[in-house]
Amino acid sequence: MSLARPELLWLALLALPELLALARRGRGRFPSLLSLAGPRQGTRVLARSAAAAFYSSLAFVLFLASASLALAGPSWGRRGSAQERSGFELAFVLDVSRSMEVEDGAPTRLEAAKGLLRSLLRSAASASGREGLNAFSLVAAKGEAVLLVPMTEDLEALELGLDYANPDTLTAAGTDLGRGIAAGLGSFSSSSGAGRLLIVLSDGGELSGSARAEAAKARLAKARFIALGFGGSEPKPVPGAEGPALDEKGLPARSALDAAFLKSVAAEAGGRYLDGSDPGTPAALAAEISEAGRGGMRLEYEVQDRSGLFAFLALAFLALAILAEALLARGGRP
């Protein structure tokens, strides 16, 4: 089972106050019921009230658990369906953090990524062999993310967007690929007639720790995922806006390609990792783009969203909790 929003599972902790309230309610209400009912009926009334209180709290706890699961977006199982596919939508997520300005050789990591991206645009423009079926978007990611170019067929807009993409485009420091991936997935159109491909160009590193969770959502969006790594294995000084960039200890910051991190992100999406400096990478990317744009009837597998099941269970448990609470108010009598 995968969760689209696992952080919402924390809502289930709201059940703890209800369990504490059950204990306090027993100490306060049940002795009063016993004295009011008298010695003959007291035991039976007390047993009914205790059962009603227990089932009321249990139903409410199950309601909170089911509601939190429904909000977390659980999904499992795959269902196949035949769909007509033609063309593709290609979303680029370009890391523009300061570390991408490192010169491992010549040019910088950012310029190397832009160069590869421009060559991809040229090959992708004619991948399907049909006019007007290919669309592209560009996201710049740093400590935040911004959609520089919404999904468009205008390649000139992409070229202008690439010229504008640099560390000064965004003010937030650090690297938050999770936000960039989320923005890239959000740039796809609602139409399912085109193949989807999301390509992340980065040297790795993560600020918020959300990149893997966001990459997992690519499966639900039925998007192919590729992570392209840029940089060398030897840490190099990171240039800042004015002089060398400093780390949290005030020392000159150094950066190397974090290929292991990018591989783990790609694995969460069911995608693949490629080294941007590998001579075989352009051919591999061209093959991925060609596959994404392959037309005709294809069997598509989608992960089934089970949020509705848990939403139904939450409503059922809430109804039981209300019924049990009503019985408790009547002293356990139906």
Summarised one tens digit per residue, pLDDT across range 133-158 is: 688 999 999 888 999 999 998 888 99
Coil, helix or strand for 202?
A: strand
Give 154: exposed, middle or buried? Use CB within 10 Å, 0-12, 13-18, 19+: exposed
- pLDDT tier at 35 (50, 70, 90 boundaries)? low
Domain-wise residue ranges, the chain: 2-73+306-329, 81-303
Which tokens go with 323? Answer: 């019924």
Which residue matches tokens 């949020």?
Answer: 307
Residue 271 CB neighbour total at 10 angstroms: 23
- The span from the CA of 159 to the CA of 115, in Å, is 11
Which single residue is written with the structure tokens 């640099």? Answer: 166
Longest distance between any two alpha carbons in the chain, whole Å: 93
- Give 18 or 274, the one with higher predicted confidence: 274
How many angstroms separate the CA atoms of 39 and 130, rounded? Answer: 88
- Extract the tokens encoding 168: 């000064």
Instruction: Compute the Cα dihedral for 152, 156, 161, 166 and give only its sign.
Output: positive
Q: Per residue in 92-120, pLDDT tens?
A: 999 999 999 998 877 899 999 999 998 88
pTM of the model: 0.65
Exposed e or buried b for every residue in 79-109, given b needs 16+ CB within 10 A?
A: eeeeeebebbbbbbbbbbbbbbbbebeeebb
Single-letter amino acid, residue 241: A
- Could you say which of 3.40.228.10, 3.40.50.410, 3.20.20.10, 1.20.1250.20 is the CATH number of the domain covering 81-303? 3.40.50.410
| pLDDT tens digits along 53-77 | 777 778 888 888 888 888 888 887 7
